[in-house]
Structure 1
């Protein structure tokens, strides 16, 4: 990698860090969290807690309703276009349903995954691209390094 590419990478990283500074102040986000891309949105009056060395890809939306929490562990990689909502409308019951979202440590969330309210994802879990994860879903673990 040449010097210009390294400088560009550093400038880009600092640009995103300053662009998302308001999220760092409003929510509990470790300073090592990497925002990588435009239009990453953290919304709502609930809590959003993001642990060390976590990566958020472009166009991610995390929405936490007041009284609820999205908690993301350490060393988590969240790919582009991933959505997480603690509140969703249920047409059968004609009302909203809410629940916390917990993502453990060392997880990988594939592109365009949708994580719904009430979900608990264990440590070392891989969520495949284009998945819809709802309460009671089964998650595939990350492949063992020995295989």
Structure 2
């Protein structure tokens, strides 16, 4: 009985400390990058890093275990009203696969990433450097985005391909 009470107290203490810890981390991201006051960090273990620019729009969110990287001189922009699910990776720099990795430094591809307003990016998606996702588009879960996605389309797969255009809402 006493052990059960002690366990519950410890869980509450550690949960509170964890929430405060992530709150401090997310506050530091808001200070370093352009994060709208209406943007939500929706979970734990979300990482924003790099010397480039990161802009996260109003009424948007990013899920837990997600990573956003902006290399120096590059940018990531997430528009307003976007839903970026859990375990999403967004990179502005990536090694060129055809390179000889024995030769250092390994050449890399660099490019800005832009996600338009009102987009939905499913869980476990990788968005490569230089990709733009048009407004009101969807990227299905477990996809790898290697090229631009036009507005109003649903894409998915590895690599991501057009599934269909969105039906018009009435």
Query: Do the structures match in fold with TM over 0.5?
Result: yes
Scaled by the length of structure 2, what TM-score is found? 0.72
Show CA shifts across 1:97-134 (max 9, x none): 10000000000000000000000100000000000001
Distance 1:27 1:84, change over 3 A: same
| Alignment correspondent of 1:6 | none
Give the length in aligned residue pairs. 134
Q: Distance in 2 between matches of 1:34 and 1:137?
A: 24
Q: Which moved more, 1:77-86 or 1:133-142?
A: 133-142
Q: Distance in 1 between matches of 2:93 and 2:31?
A: 23
Residue ranges of structure 1 left out of the alignment (5+ in a row):
1-10
1:55-70 maps to which residues of 2 (within 5 A)?
55-70=61-76
SS at match of 1:20: helix
Higher relative contact order (CA 8 A, sep 6+): 1
Q: Which moved more, 1:85-94 or 1:57-66?
A: 85-94
SS at match of 1:48: strand
Match of 1:20 among 26, 31, 34: 26
| Alignment correspondent of 2:110 | 98
1:1-147 maps to which residues of 2 (within 5 A)?
17-94=23-100, 95-136=107-148, 139-140=153-154, 141-146=165-170
Q: Distance in 1 between matches of 2:166 and 2:121?
A: 11
Distance 1:72 1:137, change over 3 A: closer
8 Å Cα contact 2:134/2:149 also seen in 1: no
Structure with max Cα Rg? 2
| Pairwise CA RMSD | 2.0
Residue ranges of structure 2 left out of the alignment (5+ in a row):
1-15, 101-106, 155-164
